[in-house]
Amino acid sequence: MEYYSAIAGGYNELYREEQLRKLRKIKELVTRRGLLLDVGAGTCLAREVFTDHAVVSLDPSENMLREGDGKRVVGSAEELPFKDGLFDVVIAVTSLHHWFLPRAIAEVERVAKSGGQVVVSMLKKAKWDSALFGEYDRVDGEKDVIFVRVK
């Protein structure tokens, strides 16, 4: 994660448009409204796309979060610092592969409300086990696979 802290100041210049494209695709799949948690939020770009939600941005890199605005929380996907069932929507845009994936998925599920929605995108080139997303619908993207589930 130190890599992202080191490049935080130039992250948007390098990845902004790609991340916004991914976020717009995910927004097309989100049917719930309300409080949204963005896990691995980086520079908080989800706030620009999910303007109809109250967005909480979580990232392990304080430097990355400083590049954005809004409600920002430094934390890990493996131990989300929120109570059970708090969020109407939880998204993770190509970020969960940085953590121990089974634990991160369990945490994302834990903080989503019953009837809430979880949307996770995974880089196709990253190593992960699709069986971990057994109850999710799958949407193939150009570089990512997007998993969608109503809890």
Give the pTM: 0.92
Q: Is 138 left (phi over 0), alpha (psi -120 to 50) or beta?
A: beta
Average pLDDT over the chain reads 92
> Closest by alpha carbon to 96, among 66, 69, 53, 136?
136
Task: Band the pLDDT of 8: cuts 50, 70, 90.
Answer: low
pLDDT category of residue 126 using cuts at 50, 70 and 90: confident
pLDDT of 119 above 80 = yes
Is the pLDDT at 13 greater than 70? The verdict is no
